[in-house]
Amino acid sequence: MTYKQKLNEKFGLDKDTEHTLQSLKKLTKVPVSIMKEVEKRGAGAYKTNLGSVRLKNFSKDGDMRKGPSKRLSIEQWSRARLYAFLYKSLFQKMRYKPHDKDLYLEIKEKLNL
C-alpha cells in the first residue's frame, strides 16, 4: 500500500483519491509552503540519486540501465515524498526515516503532534 493510499484510508477516503496541495491543506492542516518545500526536496533527490527512484510498479531497482521511462516521473516522485511526509508526520510522529525532520519540527507544535 502506498503512502497516498494509507493517508486516504486514515481520513476515510477512497484509497485512490487524488489531492491538490489546497485539498491536502484542508485535510491535514499542514501549510502549503511546507508541502511545496517537501516536493522541492523530492525533486532534488530525484535529480541527484536516480538509482533510488522506484520503478513504475513501485519496486526498487538500482539498475541504472532501466532508464527514466521505466521509473516514476519527477512529479510522481515528489508527490510520493509529500504523501510519505504527511503520513509519517501525522500518524507515526516521524519515527521512521525522517527525511524532512526539520520541516516536521516546524509544524509539530502548530498541529499538536
Q: Is residue 31 part of a domain?
A: yes
Q: Is residue 113 part of a domain?
A: no
CA torsion 82-15-50-45 (nearest 10°) is 0
Domain span at 35: 3-108
Q: Is residue 66 part of a domain?
A: yes
pTM: 0.83
CA of residue 70 relative to chain centroid, distance: 20
Q: Is residue 104 part of a domain?
A: yes
Residues 2-10, mean pLDDT to the nearest whole number:
94
Q: Is residue 38 part of a domain?
A: yes
- Over residues 43-55, the pLDDT tens digits come to 998 888 877 777 7
| Cβ atoms 100, 38 nearer than 8 A | yes
CA–CA separation, 63 and 66 (whole Å): 6
Q: Is residue 71 part of a domain?
A: yes
Q: Is residue 39 part of a domain?
A: yes
Residues 32-61, mean pLDDT to the nearest whole number:
82
Q: What angle do CA 16, 13, 57 make, to 5 degrees?
A: 20
Q: Is residue 88 part of a domain?
A: yes
Say how many domains are in the chain. Answer: 1
